[in-house]
Amino acid sequence: MSQQGFSGKRTAEIVDITYRQLDYWARTDLVRPSMAEAAGSGSRRLYSYRDLLELKVIKALLDAGIRLEQVRKVFAYMRNSLGEDVASANLVIDGSSSVLVNTGEELIDLLQNGQGVLNVLPLGAVKEEVDNRIVTLFPEIAAEILPQMPAAAGDA
């Protein structure tokens, strides 16, 4: 897999957030670019593929009505408990709390005792969505970044 990384602009486009959101999340340590931090004027942040997956999960949580402070708690737990394997779990969201369902089928309430479940967010689908956005938006680099994916039509 390529080590070139994704610029902030490309990352925001792939994850479907604004550059301003991405910048804020980096400055407040929600998700910092793991390949290269901005080091002053003119320098560029570089995000890894794993960073894209985390950012997409954050966006999905926010879209589901989870407050940013709660998202930070969810991610602190996920990073400590799942490490590199964030996309292997499911999050069950009820609007006021979120519950992590880990790969061992153990249900862990992250924020408070859950009530009625309204939405299940399979994190494995996040990977597929990010891969598809890369292929759609940047077909010229898709084969390099995602070697397991078939080349876009017309590429050969």
Q: What pLDDT, on a 0 to 100 scale, did the predictor assign at position 2?
A: 46
Name the domain count of the chain: 1
Closest C-alpha among 35, 37, 38 to residue 49:
35
* CATH number assigned to the domain comprising residue 106: 1.10.1660.10
Give the mean model confidence (pLDDT) for residues 32-54: 80
**Is 156 inside a domain boundary?**
no
**Is 153 inside a domain boundary?**
no
Q: Which of 2-6, 34-38, 63-67 shows the lowest mean pLDDT across its residues?
A: 2-6
User: pLDDT tens-digit profile of 119-140?
Assistant: 566 777 788 889 899 999 988 8
**Is 61 inside a domain boundary?**
yes
**Is 36 inside a domain boundary?**
yes
Helix (H, G, I), strand (E, B) or coil at 42: coil
Highest mean pLDDT (candidates 27-36, 37-46, 97-106): 27-36
Domain that holds residue 40: 6-145
Q: Where are the alpha helices (DSSP H) in 64-154?
A: 68-82, 123-137, 139-145
Q: What pLDDT, on a 0 to 100 scale, did the predictor assign at position 98?
A: 58
39, pLDDT greater than 80: no
6, pLDDT greater than 80: yes
**Is 76 inside a domain boundary?**
yes
Q: Looking at per-residue confidence, does 98 or 135 come out higher?
A: 135
**Is 155 inside a domain boundary?**
no
**Is 69 inside a domain boundary?**
yes
**Is 151 inside a domain boundary?**
no
User: pLDDT tens-digit profile of 46-87?
Assistant: 999 989 988 998 898 888 888 888 888 887 877 777 766 666
Give the mean model confidence (pLDDT) for residues 128-156: 74
Half-sphere exposure of 110 (CA within 13 A, CB side): 27
Closest C-alpha among 30, 64, 60, 61 to residue 47:
30
Q: What pLDDT, on a 0 to 100 scale, did the predictor assign at position 97?
A: 61
Helix (H, G, I), strand (E, B) or coil at 67: coil
Q: What pLDDT, on a 0 to 100 scale, did the predictor assign at position 86?
A: 66
